């Protein structure tokens, strides 16, 4: 590279960094398009619309009907935000909270219209198809050839939702093949069963024709009719999994709901964390970023300077693209950003360590940079792709805040790879081209004697096993005996549900004033620290969400508001509310985590040609999750929506650090000649990456500690266990992962082809 091109490249990168920074701060034009202030924030950070519906009718709705209604509404409000919450209040009310939306009237009508389910015959009475198959690059689908109104008039709507009594997912054995087959079993009303028999007879006579199940503007399923179906009982087969069968069954149940909803009240609510949470989180991010940059400069000299510029550009691009893609940012989303910043630093550190090693061998700076990038690329790609696989699985299979976490993490990983592989490399080559090529400016690695990690493996295994056993004992025996709610972990109302208390004051208290004046007193009255506060904008009403309160606690709370703030006790409303994280969401998250781990295992197996690398990685990250869970049990920290984000961050962090070490082991195995000393190879691999492991952990730890120091109480509850998890992930990668692989490799001999 010529000096002219080098100066031009440096000027371009610096100019791009400054431009992106200005765009993030002030935006473009009078409406400040693209500024950080335009980022959509979740309900916890920015507030939004809160709507309460009440079921109407002569008889109270069943619990199943209410759960199905909640499922339907969740599907609808996801169009507004993946962070929306839908939960039950009392026995016949449903609360909906949608972040970033402030016009309640604009969405009331759509949410209040339940979708209608139709069973549609393939052909109308005039012989024309009611629907046809369509083909595209994504696969095949179906499209209506005429409107539902016309099909109803034609008389070829076989059934509507209310003709279905029950719809349940199930499975049975295929009699011909003997395989498990997933199905949906329907029970119809007497009138519906008769109509369905006649329709299936016509479809069968046409040669195993289809009948479409159409709900809320979409084709749920289009099964073939293998025989006329009588008796009012039908089975829909051909489902790929139980989850698909349950989805179809749920859609059929939802389409047949008899619950009629009426709006009870709608409010615009303020942020549950308050403006203080946003400002302190931003301050923590800025302080953490400055400390990371200083550390990079002190430890890596000129290399640190290039990293600082690349990280500044990375941070600016992250903010710009979060805004551009319309991602809703919540506390779990911030967790994804923290993890991706750690990985951005990690990629640079891996490269810098390699450069210093090559300089130690006598290479020129220019040659050292080329060789370092060549050797470091496999570790960077494998580490980032492994975490990216997990992020994609969580994005596709997760729900709510899990999607928000996956979105910011995916974006951050892609950007971190770009800045580390492209921007940092261009900066380094440009600096060398303009004459800054003295090894003293970059630093030269010193020879380090390998530490005997393998020899101490029994101690490491014992310490980890003891920590996990202590956690299990606390959860299974101790906590259940001392906990006020009899739970092994301190589950918050996100998981358990609780009580919602609406209080109207005689003045407009700010959220920060409420947190300072009332929250600690309320926590003492109810004996629990998980109090969530939201304000109803445009009024003096405040909503307090707490654990489930008994009659005595409710009376004490009412007396507290009356005595200290002059509130009329008769105006205080208290209702039981269901959990905001439903059992379905919990199941989805667990399944997504299992699938993500399996996918990571398969990828590592494919890349390293040895499943023991993958197995060791998964065991190490499972260890990190269990030890962090032990910390939750010992400290009895509230387990809420941020708990899932914390665990996901630890999983992503742990697997990335382990991959870097295994990449060195793989490299050493390729270069080894003669008799292979596996213990020596693992020890040298861990030792050579030790500085990288410690420094990357230190930079990420600094970001999290800054959040803990400056953050509000709910942010602290997230940052504290996350900091423990980061330390644990570092420990497992250094002390356990390589030792686990060594044990598997020596105990399970590799089979030769």
CATH of the domain at 507: 3.30.70.100
Considering its fold, how many domains does the chain have in total? 4
**pLDDT tens digits, residue range 600-640?**
888 888 888 888 888 898 898 889 888 888 888 888 777 77
- Residue of 130 and 500 predicted with greater confidence: 130
Whole-number Å distance between alpha carbons of 700 and 712: 19
Residues 232 and 302 both lie in one domain: no
Q: What is the mean pLDDT of the chain?
A: 80
385-403 residues labelled b (16+ CB within 10 A) or e (exposed): bbbbbbbebbbebbbbbbb
Cross-strand bridge partners of residue 89: 93, 577
Whole-number Å distance between alpha carbons of 486 and 80: 37
- Residue of 177 and 162 predicted with greater confidence: 162
14 in a structural domain: no
Domain range spanning residue 143? 117-256
Residues 143 and 228 both lie in one domain: yes
Cross-strand bridge partners of residue 54: 93, 262
727 in a structural domain: yes
DSSP character at residue 273: S
Whole-number Å distance between alpha carbons of 338 and 28: 27
Residues 447 and 517 both lie in one domain: no
718 in a structural domain: yes
715 in a structural domain: yes
Residues 739 and 639 both lie in one domain: yes
**pLDDT tens digits, residue range 528-546?**
777 878 777 777 888 888 8
CA 308 to chain CA centroid, Å, is 28
Residues 294 and 246 both lie in one domain: no
Beta carbons within 8 Å of 638's beta carbon, 6+ residues apart:
490, 491, 492, 529, 530, 717
DSSP character at residue 429: H
**CA-to-CA dists, residue 664 to 33, 122, 452, angstroms:** 46, 61, 16
Pairing mode of beta strands 180-188, 233-239: antiparallel
166 in a structural domain: yes
Which one of 256, 279, 310 terminates a domain?
A: 256
Instruction: Tokens 């169009």: give the residue.
Output: 79
**pLDDT tens digits, residue range 473-497?**
877 776 555 544 456 777 777 777 7
88 in a structural domain: yes
At 262 the pLDDT is 72
115-140 residues labelled b (16+ CB within 10 A) or e (exposed): bbbbbbbbbbeeeeebbeeeeeeeee
Residues 100 and 209 both lie in one domain: no
Residues 296 and 384 both lie in one domain: yes
Which one of 555, 577, 599 terminates a domain?
A: 577
Q: Which two tokens stand for residue 309?
A: 């510029």
Which one of 529, 548, 577 terminates a domain?
A: 577
Average pLDDT over residues 336-340: 68
- Residue of 71 and 157 predicted with greater confidence: 157
DSSP character at residue 735: I
Residues 225 and 304 both lie in one domain: no
Cβ(729)–Cβ(657) below 8 Å: yes
DSSP character at residue 58: S
- Element spanning 302, H or E: helix 275-324
- Using the predicted structure, report yes or no on whether residue 272 has a pLDDT greater than 60: no
- pLDDT over 70 for what percent of the chain? 84
Q: In CATH, what number is assigned to the domain containing residue 240?
A: 3.30.1360
Whole-number Å distance between alpha carbons of 348 and 354: 10
- Please tell me whether residue 220 adopts helix, strand or coil conformation: strand
- Using the predicted structure, report yes or no on whether residue 216 has a pLDDT greater than 50: yes
């Amino acid at each position: 590279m010529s000096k002219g091109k080098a100066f031009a490249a440096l000027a371009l990168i610096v100019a791009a960094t400054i431009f992106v920074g200005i765009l993030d701060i002030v935006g473009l034009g009078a409406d400040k398009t693209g500024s950080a202030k335009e980022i959509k924030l979740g309900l916890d950070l920015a507030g939004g619309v809160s709507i309460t519906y009440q079921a109407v009718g002569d008889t109270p709705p069943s619990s199943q009907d209410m759960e199905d209604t909640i499922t339907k509404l969740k599907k609808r409000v996801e169009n507004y935000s993946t962070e929306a919450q839908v939960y039950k209040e009392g026995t016949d009310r449903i609360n909906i909270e949608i972040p970033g939306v402030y016009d309640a009237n604009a969405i009331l009508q759509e949410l209040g219209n339940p979708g209608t389910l139709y069973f549609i015959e393939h052909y109308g009475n005039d012989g024309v198809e009611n629907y046809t198959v369509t083909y595209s690059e994504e696969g095949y689908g179906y499209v209506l050839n005429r409107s539902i109104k016309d099909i109803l008039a034609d008389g070829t709507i076989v059934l509507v939702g209310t003709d279905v009594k029950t719809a349940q997912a199930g499975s049975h054995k295929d009699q011909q093949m003997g395989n498990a087959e997933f199905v949906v079993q329907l029970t119809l009303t007497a009138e519906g069963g008769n109509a369905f028999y006649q329709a299936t007879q016509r479809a069968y006579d046409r040669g195993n024709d289809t009948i479409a199940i159409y709900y809320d503007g979409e084709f749920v399923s289009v099964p073939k009719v293998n025989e006329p179906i009588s008796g009012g009982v039908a089975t829909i087969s051909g489902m790929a999994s139980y989850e698909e069968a349950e989805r179809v069954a749920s859609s059929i149940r939802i389409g047949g709901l008899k619950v009629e909803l009426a709006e009870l009240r709608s409010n615009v609510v303020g942020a549950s964390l308050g403006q203080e949470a946003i400002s302190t989180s931003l301050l923590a991010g800025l302080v953490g970023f400055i400390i990371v940059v200083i550390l990079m400069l002190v430890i890596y000299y000129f290399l640190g300077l290039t990293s600082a510029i690349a990280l500044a550009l990375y941070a600016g691009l992250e903010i710009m693209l979060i805004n551009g893609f319309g991602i809703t940012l919540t506390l779990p989303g911030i967790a994804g950003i923290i993890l991706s910043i750690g990985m951005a630093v990690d990629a640079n550190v891996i490269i810098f360590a390699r450069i210093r090693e090559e300089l130690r061998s006598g290479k020129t700076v220019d040659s050292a940079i080329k060789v370092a990038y060549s050797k470091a690329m496999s570790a960077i790609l494998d580490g980032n792709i492994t975490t990216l696989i997990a992020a994609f699985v969580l994005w596709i299979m997760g729900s709510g805040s899990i999607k928000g976490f996956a979105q910011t993490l995916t974006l951050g990983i892609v950007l971190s790879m770009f800045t580390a592989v492209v921007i940092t490399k261009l900066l380094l080559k440009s600096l060398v081209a303009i004459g800054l090529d003295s090894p003293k400016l970059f630093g030269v690695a010193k020879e380090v004697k390998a530490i005997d990690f393998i020899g101490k493996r029994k101690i490491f295994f014992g310490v980890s096993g003891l920590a996990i056993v202590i956690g299990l004992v606390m959860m299974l025996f101790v906590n259940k005996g001392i906990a006020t709610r009899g739970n092994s972990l301190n589950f918050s109302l996100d998981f358990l549900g609780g009580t919602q208390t609406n209080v109207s004051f005689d003045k407009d208290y700010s959220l920060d004033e409420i947190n300072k004046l009332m929250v600690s007193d309320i926590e003492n009255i109810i004996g629990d620290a998980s109090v969530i506060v939201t304000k109803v904008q445009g009024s003096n009403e405040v909503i307090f969400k707490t654990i489930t309160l008994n009659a005595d606690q409710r009376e004490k709370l009412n007396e507290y508001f009356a005595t200290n703030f002059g509130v009329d006790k008769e105006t205080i409303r208290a209702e039981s509310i269901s959990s905001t994280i439903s059992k379905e969401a919990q199941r989805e998250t667990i399944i997504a985590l299992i699938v993500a781990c399996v996918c990571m295992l398969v990828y590592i197996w494919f890349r390293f040609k040895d499943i023991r690398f993958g197995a060791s990685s998964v065991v190490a990250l499972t260890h990190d999750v269990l030890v962090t869970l032990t910390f939750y049990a010992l400290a009895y920290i509230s387990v809420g929506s941020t708990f899932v984000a914390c665990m996901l961050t630890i999983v992503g962090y742990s697997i990335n650090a382990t991959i870097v070490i295994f990449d060195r082991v793989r490299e050493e195995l390729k270069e080894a000649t003669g008799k292979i000393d596996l213990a020596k190879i693992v020890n040298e691999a861990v030792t050579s990456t030790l500085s990288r492991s410690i420094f990357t952990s230190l930079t990420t730890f600094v970001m999290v500690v800054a959040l803990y120091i400056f953050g509000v109480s709910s942010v602290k509850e997230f940052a504290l266990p996350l900091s423990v998890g980061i330390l644990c992930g570092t420990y497992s990668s250094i002390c356990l992962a390589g030792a686990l692989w060594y044990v598997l490799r020596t105990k399970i001999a590799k089979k030769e082809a």
